[in-house]
Amino acid sequence: MNMYAVGIDVSKRKSTVAILQPGGKVVVRPFDVPHLSPHFRSLKRMIGNLDGEARIVMECTGRYHEPVARALSQAGFFVSAVNPQIIHNFQGQDNPLRKVKTDQSDSVKLARYTLDNWADLKQYSLMDELRSQLKTMNRQFDFYMKHKIAMKNNLIGLIDLTYPGANAYFDSPAREDGSQKWVDFLDTYWHVDCVRRMSFHAFTDHYQKWCARKKYNFSLTKADEIYGKAKELIPVLPKDNFTKQIIKQAIQQLNSVSQTVEQLRSLMNETASKLPEYPVVMAMKGVGPSLGPQLMAEIGDVTRFTHRSAITAFAGVDPGVNASGEYSQKSVHASKHGSPVLRKTLFQIMDTLIKTKPDDAVYQFMDKKRAQGKPYYVYMTAGANKFLRIYYGRVKEYLSTLPTSD
């Protein structure tokens, strides 16, 4: 049977397609396909008319490759989306000393990669779509979290001018809608004079009714503490309409982005629950309904990693190597070549383990490194490396027990 390797270099508004056969025989020279329905139909007809088996390879270029991969996969073609770093490292040129970087050369390189790895290509599937959606949500989650932190710091900076320290009165966690008690408190008592210009009994009564309306627990001791501190504070800005407006705007913006963060957190958990490895990942120590989906979003399909060292290299938490001749450096910094978002998630998991101190091999390993006097970054990176190796082993073993769908 004839083999046809279709390499597609995907960009924002168009793709460049090249078709080769074994031996480097060019069947179709590189040509551009605009991302429009008529041109996609023509491309499908061309590939469908090939006399033999065709396999299509493209790079995982964020959101750009998704519509192309989905359209061709739904048309019944074998489609494989490959990590760009793998294609970058593939020596697919006739003369590797002469580097050529064009869309045309990239499409040919992808077709050559297809021929060289024909039997090992992994077909694009519905699970890949779910993973891509989860990763997109995680990047949005990270974006809004940065905005939330910035808006929170902005609000704290403002209330330092009107009600210093009020943000530290409550430590209640955020609710499902993203609201927090200290923010709701400032929405009503936005200036210290909102408290101390009332008598203690009047404030206590007002605060108790506020707690009942907002469905927070009321404490007479807390009311006494708040009123006592208000008497001692010195605000910078006066209690007027201008001050009230800027405080209220900052609170409104923070509440809005907090609600978006919580909605994304819930949606990510719901999406991640559809992935086969979800129960195994969620059972690991340090992982919860927030960090678990983030971890799965950034790692993706674990079966694409051939061994444990590959997944630690992907995360950039593998130890570097510096050796030449008889010289071999004993301690080398981590490579940091992988995903910075994944490393951030791993460090958050390590931080959770350190705070909760569970009966867990990863925590015990980090605690041992700490006891040896290792610096913070060293034992956190070492813990992340060990965690990923355990993750790889457990998930891959679990997936191997699941029935395969034809």
Decide which of 230, 245, 270 is a domain's last residue. Answer: 270
Residue 51, in any domain of the structure: yes
319 pLDDT band (50/70/90 cuts)?
low
In this structure, are 226 and 344 located in the same domain?
Answer: no
- The better pLDDT of the pair 122, 274 is held by 274
Residue 329, in any domain of the structure: yes
pLDDT tops 70 at residue 335:
no
**Under DSSP, is residue 319 helix (H, G, I), strand (E, B) or coil?**
strand
- The better pLDDT of the pair 95, 17 is held by 17
Q: What's the pLDDT at 118?
A: 92
Beta-bridge partner residues of 82: 59
Q: Which CATH number is 30's domain given?
A: 3.30.420.40
Q: What's the pLDDT at 223?
A: 94
In this structure, are 289 and 352 located in the same domain?
Answer: yes
pLDDT tops 80 at residue 325:
no
Give the distance, in angstroms, between the CA of residue 100 and the centroid of all CA atoms in the same chain.
33
The arithmetic mean of pLDDT across residues 282-311, rounded, is 90
Residue 95, in any domain of the structure: yes
The arithmetic mean of pLDDT across residues 246-270, rounded, is 95
Decide which of 221, 237, 270 is a domain's last residue. Answer: 270
Q: What's the pLDDT at 185?
A: 95
- Which uninterrupted H or E stretch holds 144? helix 126-162
In this structure, are 118 and 214 located in the same domain?
Answer: no
Q: What's the pLDDT at 332?
A: 46
- How far apart are alpha carbons 250 and 261 in whole angstroms? 17
pLDDT tops 80 at residue 99:
no
Q: What's the pLDDT at 307?
A: 84
Q: What's the pLDDT at 314?
A: 84
Residues 141-194 pLDDT 10s? 999 999 999 999 999 999 999 999 999 999 888 888 889 999 999 999 999 999
Residue 357, in any domain of the structure: yes
Residue 406, in any domain of the structure: no
In this structure, are 254 and 158 located in the same domain?
Answer: yes
Residue 16, in any domain of the structure: yes
Q: Could you give the residue ranges of the DSSP H alpha helices within 63-199?
A: 65-74, 84-89, 103-116, 126-162, 181-188, 193-196
Beta-bridge partner residues of 59: 82
- Single pTM value for the model: 0.74
Q: What's the pLDDT at 98?
A: 55
**Which domain does 44 fall in, by range?**
3-124
The arithmetic mean of pLDDT across residues 242-252, rounded, is 96
In this structure, are 232 and 359 located in the same domain?
Answer: no
In this structure, are 139 and 68 located in the same domain?
Answer: no
In this structure, are 185 and 305 located in the same domain?
Answer: no
Q: Could you give the residue ranges of the DSSP H alpha helices within 219-276?
A: 220-232, 241-272
The arithmetic mean of pLDDT across residues 49-59, rounded, is 92
- The better pLDDT of the pair 325, 162 is held by 162
Q: What's the pLDDT at 331?
A: 47
* Residue 118 Cα distances to 6, 114, 122, 261, 406, angstroms: 11, 5, 9, 42, 20
Domain count, the chain: 3
323 pLDDT band (50/70/90 cuts)?
very low
Q: What's the pLDDT at 55?
A: 95
1 pLDDT band (50/70/90 cuts)?
confident
Q: What's the pLDDT at 402?
A: 82
Question: 360 exposed, middle or buried (CB, 10 Å; 0-12, 13-18, 19+)?
Answer: middle
Beta-bridge partner residues of 222: none
In this structure, are 112 and 138 located in the same domain?
Answer: no
Decide which of 235, 270, 305 is a domain's last residue. Answer: 270
In this structure, are 190 and 115 located in the same domain?
Answer: no
Do the beta carbons of residue 65 and residue 81 sit within 8 Å? yes
The arithmetic mean of pLDDT across residues 328-355, rounded, is 76
The arithmetic mean of pLDDT across residues 353-374, rounded, is 93
Q: What's the pLDDT at 324?
A: 38
93 pLDDT band (50/70/90 cuts)?
low
Measured at the CA of 267, the angle between CA 263 and CA 271, to 5 degrees, comes to 175
Instruction: List the single range of 81-90, 208-217, 291-300, 393-402 with lowest mean pLDDT.
Output: 81-90
Q: Whole-number mean pLDDT of the chain? A: 88
In this structure, are 94 and 184 located in the same domain?
Answer: no
Count the Cβ atoms, other than its own, within 10 Å of residue 236: 9
- Tokens 């355990």 map to which residue? 390
In this structure, are 261 and 342 located in the same domain?
Answer: no
In this structure, are 300 and 196 located in the same domain?
Answer: no
pLDDT tops 80 at residue 91:
no
pLDDT tops 60 at residue 333:
no
- How far apart are alpha carbons 406 and 403 in whole angstroms? 10
Residue 263, in any domain of the structure: yes
- How far apart are alpha carbons 307 and 303 in whole angstroms? 9
- How far apart are alpha carbons 301 and 81 in whole angstroms? 12
Q: Could you give the residue ranges of the DSSP H alpha helices within 273-406?
A: 278-282, 291-299, 308-315, 340-356, 361-371, 376-401
- How far apart are alpha carbons 40 and 62 in whole angstroms? 20
Count the Cβ atoms, other than its own, within 10 Å of residue 331: 8
